[in-house]
Amino acid sequence: MLLEQRREKVEEILSHYPQKRAALMPMLYEAQEVYGYLTEEAIREVAAILELDPTEVYSVSEFYSLYYHKPTGKYIIRFCTDMPCALVGAEHAYQQLLNLLGLKNGETSADGLFTVEHCVCLAACATAPVLQVNRQFFENMTEAKMRELLETLRTSGLPEDGPVMKFQPRTADTPTGF
């Protein structure tokens, strides 16, 4: 399926490396997009393209956090609850997000729209609380902004991506969690 749908991209990735195996990480991203998540079939196809044993492909893919081995929602929300973010109330804000979604950490909504999980540092600590939707950043989150974001995703999908790191001075209504 990967080769059928993205042969050009696959060949381009392979051309970057002197050894096929090195294409494994970018190839897993492609496979994940084509198959939805890393199904057994996806793992087998990647292994075949790279002339590797499927077990090796599986073991590498399990090492990282951004490869999914189970079905996910259309939008994967990853919310940083690491220490610098937690200092300013990210764990509290994450609970608010879970409540808005009616989900527990790691779950996918019944309509197949959202998977939500917390994660470690996203390299955006000064704009905490911060989350990603399908690897696109949303920063300085409040309950109101998260409600609005979910509504936007439900009705019109992801907005256009752009530069982040929009630093904001703290105000009286900065969420604290303490």
Partner 1 sequence: MEQLYLICRHREVPNLHQYETYIQKEQGYQALQQVLKLSRDEVIDIVKASGLRGRGGAGFPTGLKWSFMPKNVQGPVYLVINCAEGEPGTFGNHEIIENNPHQLIEGIIIGCYAIGATAAYIYHRGEFKYGAEMMQRAVDEAYKQGWLGKKVGGREDVSLDIYLHPEASAYICGEETAQLNSIEGYLGQPRLKPPFPAQSGLWKRPTTVNNVETLAHVPAIIRNGPAWFRQWGTEKSPGTRVYCVSGHVMRPGNYELPMNVTARELIFEHAGGIWKGRGLKGFIPGGVSAPILTNDHLDLPLDYDSLAGAGSMGGSGGVIVMDDQTDMAWLAKKMVDFYSHESCGKCSPCREGTWWQKNLLDRMMTGLARSGDVEMLEMVSEQMAGTCFCPLGESSQMVVLGAMKYFRSDFERYGQGKAYDGVIPMSAIEHH
Give the residues lining the site for partner 1 (CB under 8 A).
Answer: 16-19, 21-26, 28-29, 50, 52, 59-60, 62-67, 78, 81-84, 86-88, 91-92, 95, 105-106, 117-128, 132, 135-137, 161-165, 167, 169-170, 174, 177-178
Q: Which is nearer to partner 1, 45 or 117 (CB)?
A: 117
Q: Which two tokens stand for residue 131?
A: 């989350």
Q: Are residues 115 and 104 in contact, defined by beta-carbon separation less than 8 angstroms?
A: no
Smallest distance, partner 1 to C-beta of residue 78, A: 8
Rg over CA atoms, the chain:
18
Round to whole Å and give the CA distance between 30 and 36.
10
**Could you tell me the strand order of the sheet in which 75-80 lies?**
114-119, 75-80, 131-133, 136-138
Smallest distance, partner 1 to C-beta of residue 135, A: 4
Smallest distance, partner 1 to C-beta of residue 154, A: 21
Q: Which is nearer to partner 1, 86 or 101 (CB)?
A: 86
Q: Which is nearer to partner 1, 113 or 119 (CB)?
A: 119
Smallest distance, partner 1 to C-beta of residue 66, A: 4
76 strand-pairing partners: 115
Round to whole Å and give the CA distance between 87 and 177.
8
